[in-house]
Amino acid sequence: MKVVWFSEIKWNYLRTRKQQIIARKPADVQLLFLEPFVKSGRNTYRLRTEGGIFSATVPFLKSAPYFPWRTVLDRGSARWVIDLAVRTRVQRILKQLRFEPSSTGFIISNIYAANIVSSLPRRFLLYDCNDDHSSFPGMRSWTKAYFYKTSREADAIFASSQALLDKITDVRGSSGGCEYLGNGVDYEHFQKNGDPRTVEPGGKPRLGYIGALAPWFDFDALAELARERPEWEIVLVGPILLGVDKKVTELTSLPNVFRLPAVSYDRLPAILRQFSVGLIPFRYNELTRGVNPNKLYEYLAAGLPVVTTRFSSEVERYTDLVKAVDPGASFIRACEEFVDAVSDENESAGLAERARRIAREHDWDVIAATFWKKVEELMNQG
Sheet holding 257-260, edge to edge: 257-260, 233-237, 206-210, 277-280, 306-309, 322-325
What is the CATH number for 283?
Answer: 3.40.50.2000
- Do residues 355 and 244 share a domain? yes
- Do residues 177 and 311 share a domain? no
- Do residues 205 and 288 share a domain? yes
Domains contained in the chain, number:
2
pTM for the whole structure? 0.90
The two beta strands, 53-58 and 48-50, are: antiparallel
Which pLDDT score is estimated for 17?
Answer: 95
Average pLDDT over residues 99-123: 95
The string of pLDDT tens digits covering residues 25-37 is 999 999 999 998 8
Q: Residue 76 sits in which domain range?
A: 2-184+364-381
- Do residues 275 and 304 share a domain? yes
- Bridge partners of 3? 31, 105
Structural contact between residues 183 and 362, judged by C-beta atoms closer than 8 angstroms: yes
Which pLDDT score is estimated for 140?
Answer: 78
- Do residues 199 and 331 share a domain? yes
What percent of the chain lies above the pLDDT cut of 90?
77
- Do residues 212 and 164 share a domain? no
Q: Render 70-119 in DSSP notation, one character per residue.
A: GGGGGSHHHHHHHHHHHHHHHHHHHHHHT--GGGEEEEE--GGGHHHHHH
The string of pLDDT tens digits covering residues 138-167 is 777 888 999 999 999 999 999 999 999 999
% helix, strand, coil for the chain, step of 5: 45, 20, 35
Quick check: helix, strand or coil at residue 260? strand
Stated as kind and residue range, the H or E segment containing 272 is helix 268-272
